[in-house]
Amino acid sequence: MTVLDTPAWRPRADAAPLLPDPEPYRLLGTPAAADLDPALLGLLYGQLVRGRRYNVQATALTKQGRLAVYPSSTGQEACEIAAALALRPRDWLFPSYRDTLAVVARGVDPVEALTLLRGDWHTGYDSREHRVAPLSTPLATQLPHAVGLAHAARLSGDPVAALAMVGDGGTSEGDFHEALNFAAVWKAPVVFLVQNNGFAISVPLAKQTAAPTFAHKAVGYGMPGRLVDGNDVAAVHEVLTEAVERARDGGGPTLVEAVTYRIDAHTNADDATRYREESEVAAWRAHDPVELLERELTARGLLDDAARQRALDDAEAMAADLRERMHAEPQLDPMELFEHVYADLTPQLREQAAQLRAEMAAERQS
Amino acid sequence: MTTATSAADRAAAPTRRPATMAQALNQALRDALTADPAVHVMGEDVGTLGGVFRITDGLTRDFGEDRCTDTPLAEAGILGAAVGMAMYGLRPVVEMQFDAFAYPAFEQLVSHVSRMRNRTRGALPMPITVRIPYGGGIGGVEHHSDSSEAYYLHTPGLHVVTPATVEDAYGLLRAAIASDDPVIFLEPKRLYWSKADWSPQEPSTVPPIGRAVVRRPGRTATLITYGPSLPVCLEAAEAATEEGWDLGVVDLRSLVPFDEETVAEAVRGTGRAVVVHESSGFGGAGAEIAARITERCFHHLEAPVLRVAGFDIPYPPPMLERHHLPGVDRILDAVGRLQWEER
């Protein structure tokens, strides 16, 4: 045996097939769009219109004091909707804090999806029932969870895939690296969706990475990278669906970079005029995910004024319901603070619960 | 599948013979893997090698790579993946190779493992055991001898358990793995090769997590300790008889939950207490224990509760560590300062 015969010497995979396309993949407005299923496009359109309205309504709720904060995904609705719709019922979604919309599109009650941001409980929906992990605030930390869940499913012979969402800023975290490495080594059925929206709060892409694209990072881990126009909902949906199916069929993980733009500030508490030009925002407004699909549908005769109005009315009804229910004061039981720390209360927590109960009783009497 | 103890062995009358803590821990992992298909062991070098301390020796051979898995070298990734596995319904047992190598996993531990049950109102419990060899006294170079318990016990949602005997090593590890809460299982690495008469056929009844035990009754003062400092305290108590002191020794076994009742009862019986641990004293477990003893036993105390701990310094290089670690003399000095009346 010489070094040439040892496993360490030779490359372990051919890099070329893993490389992303040189330009973001697009469908809408291209000849390939003619093959798209009208029913799917109709479904995506209805969800996009609802999604846009949801972002507007949630932002309004922050101004009315009903939400502590809202990180808007306005401009990124195509990614949010496509991510949710690429999954089957038994698959799992692992969202970041900007992905409330994907959580809602997955079927979670819009009010339950907002409890984190309203502040009445951290996670308001049943993660196990909906197969949606809690919205993750610490950046990229949800990615290894997705890998572990997908790995566990694969070990159990269970055809379940996980889709994990992260932003461009999150790719700089160590957990991003560790998750992708584990996923590739374990061939875990997981898809990583990087929404490259141009900014990590105020820090632009150039200060975040020197990689050719985020999709190129896949090659270093030994998984395919896909680059897609993140505002083209048909393209994102197709790329994610293919990746999820491939994962479920034992093909291993995929890294998808969706190029998009954060139209709103980081949150309602942020002032984006301090770090970016309005001309850039205007350029992206002209590449709006809802309008891109509208143009396609209209050109193909799949959307008339009546259908558009139906979609808007449906979104308005959702927003009105959300508004009304969010204006109701949440019913809180402070004693619940102690209930879910451990399976059973420790002696010390029993004492502290008794203390709080007494304090509340005294408060009621005064 | 073969295990170290075959069915025939188990049918035979149990014989107790000298066994090490390392063997008891290995047996606990084997028995947990056998008892529950949801149990998965994972970590760095835990497979073919059997772990750098050989605690997982033979598990991959006997249970397969899917049940005892060599992972990439990344502690946050290991624990983060364990979180996802627990979400799916598995019961991961993670090995961190050394105390100080567990720090990269700290964010996953504090931000997710400890809070997931609370965050999700119980929908996603985290039945994860994190095994961490800890403590000094083995001549390890930097980053191989930390006592990291204070970081963990300050984090609500975690149980923090540390055995000091062969029997407890088995019983507490089985209890930790069976627990539906995350357990930081701190293994005193210098006691890995300590021996006791023990039978893998009748390993021990499982002590519930959260119960301290009186290792030695005493009438004149109480030493409260855990993990690697237990043998030192027992030695000190023996030596103290020459001074006319009858020292009791309480082994906490679990820092969280903390067994206040056993500790308070022992201290009320003596009126004097010294808390002993290896980790630095400032902000350490001993500070919390001393405060609780004072709150609960003030009128029984004849002297302030004292602490004997490691100095407030980064863990020393191995050639100097004996000056840092609490030894018999430092414990007896503290006992001597417990405001004894003239004798």
**Active-site annotation holds for B144:** yes
Q: Judge if B322 and B279 occupy the same domain.
A: yes
Share in percent of chain A as helix, strand, coil (round to 5): 50, 10, 40
**What is the share, in percent, of chain A residues with pLDDT greater than 90?**
96
Beta-carbon neighbour count of residue B330 at 10 Å?
A: 17
pLDDT digits 0-9 by tens, A319-361: 999 999 999 999 999 999 999 999 999 999 999 999 999 999 9
Report chain B residues whose CB lies below 8 A from the CB of A348.
Answer: 257-258, 260
Residue B14: what pLDDT?
A: 67
Positions in chain B short of pLDDT 50: 1-5, 7-8
Q: Judge if B42 and B181 occupy the same domain.
A: yes
**Cα(B111)–Cα(B115) distance, rounded to whole angstroms?**
6
Q: Judge if B19 and B161 occupy the same domain.
A: yes
Indicate which CATH number applies to the domain containing A69.
3.40.50.970
Identify the CA nearest to A236 among candidates A259, A217, A253. Answer: A259
| The pLDDT of residue A217 is above 70 | yes
pLDDT digits 0-9 by tens, A1-31: 899 989 899 888 899 999 999 999 999 999 9
Q: Judge if A327 and A353 occupy the same domain.
A: no
Strand A254-259: give its sheet, edge to edge. Answer: A92-94, A162-167, A190-196, A254-259, A225-229
Q: Is residue B288 part of a domain?
A: yes
Q: Is residue B255 part of a domain?
A: yes
Question: Rounded to a whole number, what is the distance in Å from the CA of A311 to chain B's nearest CA?
Answer: 33
Q: Is residue B313 part of a domain?
A: yes
Q: Judge if A135 and A35 occupy the same domain.
A: yes
Residue B4: what pLDDT?
A: 46
A181 to B77: CB separation less than 8 angstroms, yes or no: yes
Give the helix/strand (H/E) hosting B224. strand B221-225
Report chain A residues whose CB lies below 8 A from the CB of B108.
Answer: 141, 144, 175
Report chain B residues whose CB lies below 8 A from the CB of A341.
Answer: 117-118, 156-157
What is the domain range of residue A38? 3-332
Indicate which CATH number applies to the domain containing B139.
3.40.50.970
Residue A26: what pLDDT?
A: 98
- Cβ atoms A214, A256 nearer than 8 A: no
pLDDT digits 0-9 by tens, A27-74: 999 999 999 999 999 999 999 999 999 999 999 999 999 999 999 999
What is the domain range of residue B239? 213-336
Q: Judge if A268 and A339 occupy the same domain.
A: no
User: Domain boundary residue among B135, B169, B198?
Assistant: B198
Q: Judge if B43 and B183 occupy the same domain.
A: yes
Q: Judge if A282 and A205 occupy the same domain.
A: yes
Q: Judge if A325 and A347 occupy the same domain.
A: no
What's the mean pLDDT in A83-89? 98
Indicate which CATH number applies to the domain containing B280.
3.40.50.920
Q: Judge if A37 and A151 occupy the same domain.
A: yes
Q: Is residue B2 part of a domain?
A: no
Q: Judge if B194 and B228 occupy the same domain.
A: no
- Work out how many domains chain A is built from and give that number: 2
**Cα(B224)–Cα(B219) distance, rounded to whole angstroms?**
14
Q: Is residue B90 part of a domain?
A: yes
Q: Judge if A74 and A170 occupy the same domain.
A: yes
Q: Judge if B131 and B245 occupy the same domain.
A: no
**Cα(A123)–Cα(A112) distance, rounded to whole angstroms?**
8
Q: Is residue B154 part of a domain?
A: yes
Q: Judge if A348 and A250 occupy the same domain.
A: no
Q: Judge if B62 and B194 occupy the same domain.
A: yes
pLDDT digits 0-9 by tens, A139-151: 999 999 999 999 9
Residue B341: what pLDDT?
A: 80
Q: Judge if B112 and B220 occupy the same domain.
A: no
- Cβ atoms A173, A139 nearer than 8 A: yes
Question: Rounded to a whole number, what is the distance in Å from the CA of A129 to chain B's nearest CA?
Answer: 9
- Work out how many domains chain B is built from and give that number: 2
Q: Judge if B148 and B248 occupy the same domain.
A: no
Q: Judge if A343 and A277 occupy the same domain.
A: no
| The pLDDT of residue A170 is above 80 | yes
- The tokens for B93 are 């047992």
Unique residue bearing structure tokens 């009445």? A120
Q: Judge if B186 and B221 occupy the same domain.
A: no
Of all residues in chain A, the one with the smallest CA distance to B125 is: A343
- The tokens for B145 are 């001898």
Q: Which residues pair with A31 in a beta bridge?
A: none
Q: Judge if B96 and B172 occupy the same domain.
A: yes
Q: Is residue B319 part of a domain?
A: yes
Residue B342: what pLDDT?
A: 61
Q: Judge if A20 and A129 occupy the same domain.
A: yes
Give Cβ neighbours of residue B142 (< 8 Å, ≥ 6 apart): B315, B317
Identify the burial level of A289 via C-beta atoms within 10 angstroms of its C-beta, where 0-12 means exposed, 13-18 middle and 19 or more buried: buried
Q: Is residue B308 part of a domain?
A: yes
Q: Judge if B150 and B265 occupy the same domain.
A: no
Q: Judge if A101 and A247 occupy the same domain.
A: yes
- Is A353 an interface residue toward B (CB < 8 Å)? no
Q: Judge if A348 and A206 occupy the same domain.
A: no
| The pLDDT of residue A158 is above 60 | yes
Residue B13: what pLDDT?
A: 54
Residue B68: what pLDDT?
A: 98
User: Domain boundary residue among B198, B223, B239?
Assistant: B198
In this prediction the pTM is 0.96
pLDDT digits 0-9 by tens, A103-140: 999 999 999 999 999 999 999 999 999 999 999 999 99
pLDDT digits 0-9 by tens, A231-257: 999 999 999 999 999 999 999 999 999
Which parts of chain A are beta strand (E)?
A: 92-94, 162-167, 190-196, 199-200, 203-204, 225-229, 254-259
